[in-house]
């Protein structure tokens, strides 16, 4: 019955014979409130302060170890959907280039009369979610004793939601297709520029590392993406960048890289596999976070109300983009 309960919370809205058929009280509440997820945040079991206690724990964990997602948020690279729970795909367009301008002394010659072409693309909008439950007896024991609710499980589940979101941004989910679209990340986007590092940075010299970054920047410039950039490195390379650039040189490798024009920051991405390095132009034509639903905690009950089920869920999908000439602002190098 547990799978059926989960489906009743969000997924059991079906169209049959041209009419909407709803299974489960949670799904009925969603439809009755135009898919407003607040309808599932009832105080039937939890009191206001108890909801706040859980929400604080969930937000705290959901924001940990999200370097890539945090960069998109802090730079305003977010596209927020109205009523994202009521949508399954995002439809968007890309645009072709036009012919170059002419130059002559009279201005009489007729210029090339072309037109812009648009292609329609689709991005799936799946839910990322994790579940936990509270027994009414355990809740009452907490209220009787005056001890705060144990949010350990909620925190762990929120952490899994956060990890999935970061994993998707860096490594994609190219096997996830829906509605004519596919979800890609930085390292599996088909139109990224790829290359090979001179050597693994864990053993490379400072000059080799800086040379690799300069090569990556040149690749981005060749694709008409001029920054600002963030350099993402895997966990294994973090300490290598804190070594001196050369012996006796009062600058670390990290500081030397940050002296390169338009390299704004260097971030460690734990979800990057060993030997993978990324240079990403932080602009909306390269990447943005499509947000249909922030991290949210919702509730429904089973077993006559004796057990209250909770789902931590979000609709947040990275949208990695390129123009119609397959130029993107993502450069991906791997160790040899």
Could you tell me which of 277, 283, 236, 284 has the C-alpha nearest to residue 257? Answer: 277
With bands split at pLDDT 50, 70 and 90, how would you rate the model's confidence at 260? very high
With bands split at pLDDT 50, 70 and 90, how would you rate the model's confidence at 290? very high
Which residues on adjacent β-strands are paired with residue 122?
A: 91
pLDDT higher than 80, residue 302: no
Who has greater pLDDT, 321 or 99?
Answer: 321
CA R_g for the chain: 25
Who has greater pLDDT, 117 or 300?
Answer: 300
Q: What is the pLDDT of residue 15?
A: 35
User: How many Å apart are CA 172 and CA 200, to the nearest integer?
Assistant: 23
User: How many Å apart are CA 51 and CA 74, to the nearest integer?
Assistant: 27
Who has greater pLDDT, 145 or 17?
Answer: 145
pLDDT > 90: what percent of the chain?
42
pLDDT digits (tens, 9 = 90+) for 19-60: 333 334 555 555 556 556 555 555 455 555 655 665 666 666
pLDDT higher than 50, residue 98: yes
Go through the domains of the chain in sequence order and give each one's CATH number: 21-90+121-184+287-320 (3.30.2400.30), 193-283+325-334 (3.30.2320.10)
335: cis peptide before it, omega within 30°?
no
Q: What is the pLDDT of residue 306?
A: 72
CA distances for 336 relative to 99, 201, 204, 232, angstroms: 40, 10, 12, 18
Who has greater pLDDT, 148 or 254?
Answer: 254
Q: Quick one: which H or E segment has residue 230?
A: strand 229-233
Length of the chain: 336
Judged by average pLDDT, the poorest of 58-62, 253-257, 258-262 is 58-62
User: How many Å apart are CA 62 and CA 68, to the nearest integer?
Assistant: 13
pLDDT higher than 50, residue 17: no
Q: What is the pLDDT of residue 102?
A: 62
Average pLDDT over residues 122-144: 77
Write down the mean pLDDT value for the chain.
78
Using DSSP's 3-state secondary structure scheme, residue 240 falls into helix
Please count the CA atoms within 13 angstroms of the CA of 84 that sit on its side-chain side: 22
Judged by average pLDDT, the poorest of 63-77, 208-222, 267-281 is 63-77
pLDDT higher than 50, residue 9: no
Average pLDDT over residues 272-283: 95
Q: What is the pLDDT of residue 161?
A: 87
Q: Quick one: which H or E segment has residue 254?
A: helix 253-258
pLDDT higher than 70, residue 66: yes
Contact (CB, 8 A) for 309 and 271 = no
With bands split at pLDDT 50, 70 and 90, how would you rate the model's confidence at 96? low
pLDDT digits (tens, 9 = 90+) for 109-119: 665 655 556 56
Average pLDDT over residues 289-314: 81
Q: What is the pLDDT of residue 6?
A: 35
């Amino acid at each position: 019955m547990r799978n059926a309960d989960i489906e009743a919370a969000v997924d059991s809205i079906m169209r049959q014979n041209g009419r909407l058929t709803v299974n489960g009280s949670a799904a009925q509440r969603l439809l009755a409130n135009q898919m407003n997820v607040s309808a599932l945040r009832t105080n039937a079991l939890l009191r206001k302060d108890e909801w706040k206690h859980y929400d604080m724990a969930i937000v705290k964990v959901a924001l940990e170890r999200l370097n890539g997602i945090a960069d998109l948020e802090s730079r305003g690279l977010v596209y927020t959907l109205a009523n994202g729970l009521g949508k399954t795909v995002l439809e968007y367009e890309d645009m072709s280039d036009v012919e170059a301008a002419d130059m002559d002394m009279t201005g009489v010659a007729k210029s090339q009369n072309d037109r812009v072409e648009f292609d329609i693309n689709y991005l799936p909008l799946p839910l990322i979610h994790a579940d936990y439950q509270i027994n009414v007896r355990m809740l009452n024991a907490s209220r009787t004793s005056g001890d705060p609710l144990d949010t350990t499980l909620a925190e762990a589940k929120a952490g899994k939601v956060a990890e999935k979101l970061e994993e998707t941004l860096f490594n994609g989910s190219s096997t996830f297709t829906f509605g004519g679209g596919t979800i890609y990340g930085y390292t599996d986007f088909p139109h990224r520029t790829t290359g090979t590092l001179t050597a693994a940075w864990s053993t490379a010299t400072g000059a080799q590392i800086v040379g690799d970054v300069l090569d990556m920047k040149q690749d981005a410039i060749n694709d008409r993406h001029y920054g600002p950039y963030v350099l993402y490195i895997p966990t294994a390379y973090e300490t290598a960048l804190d070594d001196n650039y050369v012996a006796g040189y009062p600058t670390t490798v990290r500081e030397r890289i940050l002296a390169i024009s338009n390299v704004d920051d260097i971030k460690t991405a734990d979800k990057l596999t060993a030997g993978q390095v990324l240079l990403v132009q932080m602009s909306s034509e390269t990447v943005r976070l499509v947000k249909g639903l922030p991290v949210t905690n919702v509730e429904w009950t089973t077993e006559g109300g004796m057990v209250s089920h909770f789902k931590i869920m979000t609709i947040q999908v990275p949208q990695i983009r390129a123009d119609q000439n397959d130029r993107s602002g993502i450069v991906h190098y791997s160790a040899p």
